[in-house]
Amino acid sequence: MNLIAGIIGSFAAIACFAVLLECPVRYLPHAGIVGAAGGGVYLASIEMGTDVVMASFLSALVIALMSHTFARIFRASVTIFLIPGILPTVPGAGMYRTVYYMISGDNEKCSYYLIQTLEIAGVIALAIFIVGTLFNIIKKNYEIVRKGKRQGGKLI
């Protein structure tokens, strides 16, 4: 039940955040679906005992994959779905804890949360890069095959 509530909450939060980002109205539900899927993967991974960094990586992979897929289906920009959708994965609490423990003078906890926050930010960027690269490779191979079919079936 907690997972379902988290997914519904992620959908609502992302759809509302997409409004703030001035996402076109027709794409608001789709941006919400991307965020809900990412939030669901994150929460399910945490419930299964996965580390926060790995859960963030898996969530970002799903978000990037769905964003690229929706962008091709709806012939829209990837960022329309990616920017709002990535919100559940952004380590805001880790950034807050880093500054809190820095001000409190607890250098050990400050270092722990700083490193964890940087790791999460890194895996988010890595996941977006991996999926973007895969889609570019697929697109390039598709264009090569399509171009070859137009030239009498000869592949270059």
Give per-residue pLDDT as tens, 71-122. 999 999 999 999 999 988 999 999 999 999 999 999 999 999 999 999 999 9
The predicted pLDDT at position 150 comes to 58
pTM for this predicted structure: 0.88
What one-character DSSP code corresponds to residue 156? Answer: -
Torsion sign, CA atoms 90, 91, 95, 97: positive
Closest among 141, 48, 33, 47 to 82, alpha carbons compared: 33
**Token duo for residue 103:** 């001000």
Spatial contact of 10 and 38, defined as CB atoms under 8 Å apart: yes
How many whole angstroms separate alpha carbon 85 and alpha carbon 64?
8
The predicted pLDDT at position 153 comes to 53
